[in-house]
Amino acid sequence: MVGRVCPRHGYRGRPLNSVVSGAQGSGARINHVANPEMIVARNFAEIQRELSELSPEQRAKLALALVESLEPEDEGDIAEAWRLEVEQRYERYKRGEIQAIPGDEVFARVRSRLG
């Protein structure tokens, strides 16, 4: 991948086994690393050690933030769409336009389709 832009750092022409040293904006330079997996593992171990020193409440907040960072950005739109769909289905149910299906029956149907 030499010559391509690194998606994380944006450097051109550097092999993927290069890492950035120095703080961002401090004239950081790229150093060649023989085994980048070792750097990641070492950094992960350091981060894990530091995080273990946080209080349970702080770790819980961090865990939630990490999980939320993995969710799609447009999830608010998805959640809103589902909220509207649920409201519409419930209104149709109350008007007698649709009937409810017991959960056991729904799951039995799903199990039979999945085999």
**Dihedral angle sign, alpha carbons of residues 107, 76, 68, 19:** positive
Do residues 17 and 32 lie in contact, with contact meaning Cβ atoms separated by under 8 Å?
yes
pLDDT in tens, 6-40: 444 444 444 444 444 444 444 545 455 556 666 67
Domain boundaries, the chain: 18-70, 75-114
Q: Is the entire prediction scored with pTM above 0.85? A: no
Residue 20 forms beta bridges with which residues? 30
pLDDT in tens, 94-106: 999 999 999 999 9
User: Mean of the per-residue pLDDT values for the chain?
Assistant: 74
H helix count then E strand count, the chain? 4, 2
Q: Which residue has the tokens 């056991």?
A: 104
Q: What is the pLDDT of residue 111?
A: 94
Half-sphere exposure of 39 (CA within 13 A, CB side): 12
pLDDT above 90 for 90: yes
Burial 19-39 (b: 16+ CB within 10 A, else e): beeeeeeeeeebeeeeeeeee
Do residues 20 and 29 lie in contact, with contact meaning Cβ atoms separated by under 8 Å?
yes
pLDDT above 90 for 41: no
